[in-house]
Amino acid sequence: MKNCALCTDQLSPEEGELIWRGDDCRVILVNDPHLPGFCRVIWNHHVSEMSKLTFGEREVFMSLVFAIEAAIRHVMQPDKVNLASLGNQVPHLHWHVIPRYQDDAFFPGSVWSAKVQETPSAILEARKQKAHALPIEIRAAISQLY
């Protein structure tokens, strides 16, 4: 697909940081000022639907998503983790793995809804500091898979 934003590894610092890249998938730590620890797991090849993957590819992809979720839970200690795979705006397989807190800007709605509150700045800063440990934790979790 031409002009697919997820078909490239090119990221600006404003978009996020490439944490890990394998043959089939990659993991991005998204730079979202309201949601520290938000990660995106992206299928490297342009595919729009999970059912277009082989059973083996699905297992690889979802095992990675679950490993990222576990790493986020361990490091960020959220109240909840949201897993989302929409693809409405970018029809390229990817999963959002998002630590959620009762005091985050969008809670209890989705992270794509309007902000309903402000997270206290000291709490948000502490979460940003925790998120610095995610790349190491995520790489360690992935090393258990491969």
pLDDT digits (tens, 9 = 90+) for 76-129: 999 999 999 987 778 889 999 999 999 999 999 999 999 999 999 999 999 999
Q: What is the pLDDT of residue 91?
A: 85
* C-alpha triplet 138, 71, 105: angle, nearest 5°: 110
Q: What is the pLDDT of residue 136?
A: 96
Tell me, letter by letter, the H, E, C secondary structure of the chain. Answer: CCCCCCCCCCCCCCCEEEEEECCCEEEEEECCCCCCCCEEEEECCCCCCHHHCCHHHHHHHHHHHHHHHHHHHHHHCCCEEEEECCCCCCCCCEEEEEEECCCCCCCCCCCCCCCCCCCCHHHHHHHHHHHCCHHHHHHHHHHCCC
Q: Are 39 and 75 in contact (CB under 8 A)?
A: no
Record the tokens describing residue 84, joined without a space: 């989302």
With bands split at pLDDT 50, 70 and 90, how would you rate the model's confidence at 144?
Answer: very high
User: pLDDT digit string (tens) for 63-72?
Assistant: 999 999 999 9
Q: What is the pLDDT of residue 14?
A: 76
Domain borders along the chain are 16-143
According to CATH, the topology of domain 16-143 is HIT family, subunit A (3.30.428)
User: pLDDT digit string (tens) for 13-48?
Assistant: 778 999 999 999 999 999 999 999 999 999 999 999
Record the tokens describing residue 121, joined without a space: 């700045």
Record the tokens describing residue 138, joined without a space: 């995520």
User: pLDDT digit string (tens) for 2-22?
Assistant: 678 888 877 777 789 999 999
Q: How far apart are CA 34 and CA 111, in angstroms?
A: 9
Q: What is the pLDDT of residue 130?
A: 97
With bands split at pLDDT 50, 70 and 90, how would you rate the model's confidence at 1?
Answer: low
